[in-house]
Amino acid sequence: MNSFFTLKTKLPIIISSWLVLIVLWTLLIKFIFPILYALYYEENCTKYIMWDFWWIAHLWLANSFLNLSKKTYYIGMLICISELIIINYKLIAFFISPQWTIWETNWMINKIIVLILFIIITVILLKNKYYILNDLIKKE
């Protein structure tokens, strides 16, 4: 019987879909919404942008799960561990002195959702390490 966390099922499609949703959500709350807000109030377009380019790594990882290789495991783990360390640090710093503005609240919600997703992806990568690094190579 297949476990939910196995990559031998449709799980790569589900993970990729969630990563693409996170990319779109990040672009919306960190770039599009701040620009529209600034335009509406006739302010500098870049005033409220939260510069963040992790969405590029998330998009790469989404594609990598659809095309599994050794890179999926190694770079995926690097992205996951980096994300988990950075997000935990930033959330701790936020909750020490929270600022409940619309910008900080949107940012915090985004970070919590990304944190949960990357915990799940880390578990999936660890559970499927042998499959990704050994079984896939034998198939090629």
pLDDT tens digits for 26-82? 999 999 999 999 999 999 999 999 898 999 999 999 999 999 999 999 999 999 999
Q: Is residue 110 part of a domain?
A: yes
Q: Which residue has the higher pLDDT, 1 or 50?
A: 50
pLDDT per residue as tens digits for the range 78-103: 999 999 999 999 999 999 999 999 88
Positive or negative: CA dihedral 24, 30, 36, 40: positive
| Assigned domain for 87 exists | yes
- The Cα–Cα gap between 88 and 94 comes to 10
Q: Does 3 map to a domain?
A: no
Looking at residue 1, its pLDDT comes to: 43
* Position 102 in a domain: yes
Residue-wise pLDDT tens digits, 97-136:
999 998 899 889 989 999 999 999 999 999 999 988 887 6
Kindly report the pTM of this predicted structure: 0.86
Band of pLDDT at residue 2, cut at 50, 70 and 90: low
Give the DSSP letter of residue 39: H
The answer to whether the CB of 115 falls within 8 A of the CB of 89 is no
* Structural domain of 131: 11-139
Residue 53: phi and psi, rounded to 5, are -120, 20
Q: Residues 15-20: what's their mean pLDDT?
A: 96
The total domain count for the chain is 1
What is the DSSP secondary-structure string of 57-98? Answer: HHHHHHHHHHS--HHHHHHHHHHHHHHHHHHHHHHHHHHHS-
**What is the average per-residue pLDDT within 2-31?**
84
> pLDDT category, 6, cuts 50, 70, 90?
low
As a whole number of Å, the CA-based R_g of the chain is 17
In a domain, 6, yes or no: no
Does the residue 24 lie in any domain?
Answer: yes
Give the pLDDT score at 106: 86
Note whether residue 1 is domain-resident. no
Residue 55 lies in a domain: yes
Backbone phi and psi for residue 7, each to the nearest 5 degrees, phi listed first? -85, 5
Q: How far apart are alpha carbons 16 and 65 in whole angstroms?
A: 6
